[in-house]
Amino acid sequence: MQRAKMDLWVGLFVIAGIGALLILALQVGNLGTYSEDKSYTLVGNFENIGGLKIRSPVKSAGVVVGRVMDIQFSAKTFDAVVTMNIDDRYQFPKDTFASILTSGLLGAQYVGLAAGGDEGMLKSGDKIMKTNSALVLEEMIGQFLFDKASEDDEGDSDKF
Amino acid sequence: MPRRIVIGIRGIGHRVIDSVWRLGYAARFFSLILLKSGTSMRRFGLIIRELYFTGVLTMVIILVSGLFVGMVLGLQGYETLQKFGAETAVGTLVALSLVRELGPVVAGLLFASRAGSAITAEIGLMKATEQLEAMGMMAVDPIARVVAPRFWAGVISMPLLAAMFSAMGVFGGYLVAVVLIGVDEGSFWSQMQSVVDFRFDIVNGIIKTCVFGVAITAIAVFEGYNAPPTAEGVSGATTRTVVTSALVILGLDFVLTSFMFRGVG
């Protein structure tokens, strides 16, 4: 085979390979909406994070505004310290309420931010003061059974 | 009876020493390739010639098998997911399994059997016909002239081939799920894009393919260079290249996966 023709084919091969990588990055992956460097961090202490994981989304009004970057257990306060990266475009008031919610019945868990009415905005590294833990199924069922049992007790005492 | 036991133990010992010797020789050979690749980098035309044989000629089989693997994934994924009413997640299933695992592994297996075996047979035959010795006589280093260009061509073409495999597979999944079956196109792509992460999924997949590329071509050139200079020896070396590469790919894939995807997602 001629030299020039071989070079042409190799050139086409490399272009096709890099093109495939670009397709993977832009069409299949999320590089098109990738903006990690322009973000700030917020910290929240939760009593129970349930099934929250690193890289879980942080949503406000259903829109993804950031991601969970780190989850640690604090040995001082005995609760979970969740560090979140929030997109710079979105600023939240100081009295923002953070709660751990579930998408769908069996879906993944995420952090929901509900904006408050304060004038001042949260800055990078600030702590969210108002938090709400995840709902744990066992605790809910336990609570339900306990309520049911006490109701029955009241019912019994009415009879006598 | 005791004599037979002694012979048996000797046989085991011989095999162990032999395989350790081979491993050490392979490591020395590998570092020799790296040391002498500067010369072949300066003559990049040699690498381009090998890129044609390892890369361009492997492209067809990679593209066709990628398409079919993606189509089968789309079909099977749809069959199971529609039972839960989650058929739009078929895009996520196809893309994640291709980018993380199937793309690097299947492309690596195909690359080993298509290009790796050819490299081994070529170098082994060069050795059997004493071309390598002749080069040495003319003060041309056979490792710099013959082995290193083939090694680098394999290392360069493997990630590109795996990327083509994955892209073609996603296209095949799209073809079956959206065009043939009629899953909603918008949610097919948007669910895929919301789950597949550039850093954690795609970059990790590329790292895997680079590791596989180095492993496959190192095995191929070593087996070829180390082949007994007979027709039987070359055929045995070619078989060993394919078998060893396949085992190494699957083993390395487990090791890399357990490092990369632990505790995320």
Tens digits of per-residue pLDDT, A7-46?
Answer: 899 999 999 999 999 888 888 877 655 555 678 889 999 8
For chain A, the average pLDDT equals 83
- How many angstroms separate the CA atoms of B108 and B117, rounded? 12
A117-121, B165-169, B176-180 — which is least confidently predicted?
A117-121
| A35-50 confidence digits (pLDDT tens) | 556 788 899 998 888 8
A16 to chain B: closest CA residue: B164
Q: Judge whether residue B67 has pLDDT over 50.
A: yes
| A57-90 confidence digits (pLDDT tens) | 888 888 888 888 888 998 888 899 999 988 888 8
Instruction: Clarify whether residues A57 and A117 are in a common domain.
Output: yes
C-alpha dihedral (A103, A106, A109, A113), degrees to nearest 10: 30
Q: Which pLDDT score, from 0 to 100, does residue A37 have? A: 61
Question: Which residues of chain B does A7 touch, with a Cβ-Cβ cutoff of 8 Å?
Answer: 48
Question: Which residues of chain A does B263 touch, with a Cβ-Cβ cutoff of 8 Å?
Answer: 54
Q: Please tell me the total count of domains within chain A.
A: 2
Q: Which pLDDT score, from 0 to 100, does residue A33 have? A: 57
Nearest CB among A16, A30, A55 relative to B193 is that of: A30
Global pTM reads: 0.76
Whether A93 is in a domain gets the answer yes
For A73, counting Cβ atoms within 10 Å of its Cβ (0-12 exposed, 13-18 middle, 19+ buried), the class is exposed
Whether A133 is in a domain gets the answer yes
Q: Do A87 and A35 meet the contact criterion of CB atoms below 8 Å apart?
A: yes
Structure tokens at B85: 């009413």
Whether A130 is in a domain gets the answer yes
B159-163: average pLDDT: 95
User: Residue B228 contacts by C-beta under 8 Å, 6 or more apart in sequence?
Assistant: B234, B236, B237
Instruction: Clarify whether residues A107 and A56 are in a common domain.
Output: yes
Instruction: Clarify whether residues A49 and A105 are in a common domain.
Output: yes
Instruction: Clarify whether residues A3 and A77 are in a common domain.
Output: no
Count of C-beta atoms within a 10 Å radius of residue B205: 26
| B22-62 confidence digits (pLDDT tens) | 899 999 999 999 998 888 888 888 889 999 999 999 999 99
Structure tokens at B169: 């597979």
Question: Which residues of chain B does A17 touch, with a Cβ-Cβ cutoff of 8 Å?
Answer: 55, 157, 159-161, 163-164
Residue B79's H or E segment, with its range, is: helix B57-81
Structure tokens at A22: 């670009």
The verdict on a CB contact (< 8 Å) between B56 and A54 is no
B167-177: average pLDDT: 94
A57 to chain B: closest CA residue: B194
Instruction: Clarify whether residues A46 and A7 are in a common domain.
Output: no
Count of C-beta atoms within a 10 Å radius of residue A109: 19
User: B48: distance to nearest CA of chain A, Å?
Assistant: 7
Q: Judge whether residue A160 has pLDDT over 60.
A: no
Picking from B160, B178, B207 by the largest number of A CB atoms within 10 A of its own CB, the best residue to mutate is B160
Whether A158 is in a domain gets the answer no
Domain with A12, as residue range(s), is 1-34
Instruction: Clarify whether residues A27 and A44 are in a common domain.
Output: no
Q: Which pLDDT score, from 0 to 100, does residue A32 have? A: 57
- How many angstroms separate the CA atoms of B261 and B259, rounded? 6
Instruction: Clarify whether residues A5 and A81 are in a common domain.
Output: no
Confidence of residue B73 (pLDDT cuts 50, 70, 90): very high
Confidence of residue A143 (pLDDT cuts 50, 70, 90): confident
Whether A80 is in a domain gets the answer yes
User: A123: distance to nearest CA of chain B, Å?
Assistant: 27
Confidence of residue A4 (pLDDT cuts 50, 70, 90): confident
The verdict on a CB contact (< 8 Å) between B160 and A55 is no
Q: What is the ipTM of this complex?
A: 0.81
Whether A100 is in a domain gets the answer yes
Q: Judge whether residue A157 has pLDDT over 60.
A: no
Percent of chain B with pLDDT over 70: 98
Per the listing, tokens 């899953």 go with B183
User: A114: distance to nearest CA of chain B, Å?
Assistant: 22
For chain B, the average pLDDT equals 91
Q: Judge whether residue B265 has pLDDT over 50.
A: no
A52 to chain B: closest CA residue: B265
Q: Do A131 and A49 meet the contact criterion of CB atoms below 8 Å apart?
A: no
Q: Which pLDDT score, from 0 to 100, does residue B118 have? A: 94
User: B111: distance to nearest CA of chain A, Å?
Assistant: 15
Whether A4 is in a domain gets the answer yes
The verdict on a CB contact (< 8 Å) between A29 and B52 is no
Instruction: Clarify whether residues A12 and A78 are in a common domain.
Output: no
The verdict on a CB contact (< 8 Å) between B206 and A21 is yes
SS3 B40: helix
Instruction: Clarify whether residues A109 and A83 are in a common domain.
Output: yes
Instruction: Clarify whether residues A28 and A52 are in a common domain.
Output: no
User: A56: distance to nearest CA of chain B, Å?
Assistant: 8
Whether A159 is in a domain gets the answer no
Instruction: Clarify whether residues A69 and A17 are in a common domain.
Output: no
Instruction: Clarify whether residues A6 and A57 are in a common domain.
Output: no
Confidence of residue B11 (pLDDT cuts 50, 70, 90): very high
